[in-house]
Amino acid sequence: MKGQGRLTDLLPWLSGVREGPVCNLVSANQNYGNYIARLSAAGLPLPVLMISLGLGSFTKRVVLIIALMLFSNIVSAQQQLDIPITWLGRVENTVIPLSLLDAPIEDNGIPGSVLGLQDSQTTGNFLNHKYQLEQVILDTEDDIVQRFTALVDGGARLFIADLDADDLNRIKGLVPEVLIMSVRAMDDSLRNRDCSTTVLHLPPSRAMVADALAQYLAWKRWRKVVLVTGRHLQDKLYADALRRAIDRFGLKLVEEKDWTAEPGARRTDSGHHSLQQEVPVFTQFKEHDVVVVADEYDEFGEYLMHRTTLPRPVAGTQGLTPTAWHRTQEQWGATQIQRRFIKLAGRVMSERDYAAWLAMRAISDAVTNTNRADPASVKAFLLSDKLKLAGFKGVPLSFRSWNGQLRQPILITGSRMLVSVSPQKGFLHEVSELDTLGFDEPESGCTDF
């Protein structure tokens, strides 16, 4: 049988993996009624599925996989559905981390898309779906409009965009018959006044991560906040999101200060002596509970920890950090994807890798459910309440219908351990607690959806 050749792909899942390459079909985390309807609609005999529900967990998986092996023979006779996806990125200056323990990442995001492609193809093999990923990386001087238009003229319709806000704004409205899955830009403006129905956002916005942190500070009753902002535009945007979150969740901003010094020779023999003298002088703030830092380029935030005048925690872009993904995440089956990614890429999974993986899995979920690969059908499914995207965060993920932002819990992490996950308990919402993070529908400035 043709389908029997895929058995080796499913052995890790048979061993007890809770979320994995075939999670869209038979994962233990999925609602059984959901995959029964999904497979039954595709043609798998309903009695086989119903009988499997009465069996034990492991036996149930074996029965379902045997049924899928047989089913794959039927599917193989059907016409193959090709799903071409284009990775559109631009070369960026590599950020050199402050610590030697964090190596610079030169292929940020790309391995995540490759892992997502592999996982999606494992599912696609049962349905005669063929996923293809073409990588297009622009140099700093390349014209994004010209290259994007050429790709569309060549037939590209589904894009994963590793682009900043400026590039996205230049291409978002050029062609209405495309779908762009953005995996880099966190700008709140792209979810509000600059939103576009052609763009869906996988990373959380800055407002979402700021709200996640503010909820945790409120839960801890660390209400008096000092804000330190770096010298870059991105730092200013992050600081804006923090001010909004501080006000939104009843915290008090007692003082603000800008860090304007350019990075020096921090690894010289006398570097720590200088910092030990300078930081206490810089941090002579009013009475406060926590120092919140906006330093997206990682130039100074780490310096503040353990060196402030008063013994206070540091949070924000450094210290206690709100993030979509982190190497410390191991709950809800996340250990297996962490290990698979390290095996593939030789490094830990970054936030952008996670967003790229989610982008591939979201497209795959839409294609699996609709058996269509055109942008309109994929987008319609992704924006519907039918999407239950598994993201190793304990709850199904979905897109907000009013601005295309992916709803997701935000991890609150230290450097070596997961500390908490937001939304925090007690922050309620009439639709979804995840909508307490970021701009809710009544607050949204997006009018394009």
The structure's pTM equals: 0.85
Is the same domain home to 105 and 194?
A: yes
Q: Which of 210, 437, 439, 175 is nearest to 320 (CA)?
A: 210
User: Is residue 442 in some structural domain?
Assistant: no
Is the same domain home to 154 and 218?
A: no
* The two three-digit tokens of residue 79, written as one number: 């016409």
User: Is residue 427 in some structural domain?
Assistant: no
For the chain, the domain total comes to 3
Distance (Å, whole) CA 402 – CA 238: 23
**CB burial readout 311-325, b (16+ within 10 A) else e:** ebbbbbbbbbbbbbb
Is the same domain home to 253 and 274?
A: yes
CATH code where residue 267 lies: 3.40.50.2300
Residues 6+ apart with CB under 8 A from 380: none
Is the same domain home to 235 and 103?
A: no
Which of 59, 76, 93 terminates a domain? The answer is: 76
User: Is residue 434 in some structural domain?
Assistant: no
User: Is residue 441 in some structural domain?
Assistant: no
- Report yes or no: 449 and 195 within 8 Å, Cβ to Cβ: yes
Is the same domain home to 44 and 131?
A: no
- Report yes or no: 65 and 21 within 8 Å, Cβ to Cβ: no
Structural domain of residue 159, as residue ranges? 81-204+326-408
- Report yes or no: 364 and 395 within 8 Å, Cβ to Cβ: no
CA 89 to chain centre: 17
What is the residue-level pLDDT of the chain in tens, covering all 449 positions?
A: 343 334 334 433 443 344 444 444 444 344 444 545 455 444 554 444 555 555 556 665 666 666 655 555 555 557 999 999 999 999 998 777 778 788 889 999 999 999 999 999 999 999 999 999 999 999 999 999 999 999 999 999 999 999 999 999 999 999 999 999 999 999 999 999 999 999 999 999 999 999 999 999 999 999 999 999 999 999 999 999 999 999 999 999 999 999 988 876 555 544 565 788 899 999 999 999 999 999 999 999 999 999 999 999 999 999 999 999 999 999 999 999 999 999 999 999 999 999 999 999 999 999 999 999 999 999 999 999 999 999 999 999 999 999 999 999 999 999 999 999 999 999 999 999 999 999 999 999 999 99
Is the same domain home to 99 and 185?
A: yes
Which of 76, 110, 126 terminates a domain? The answer is: 76
User: Is residue 40 in some structural domain?
Assistant: yes
Distance (Å, whole) CA 82 – CA 127: 11
CA dihedral 384, 390, 395, 401 (to 10 degrees): -20
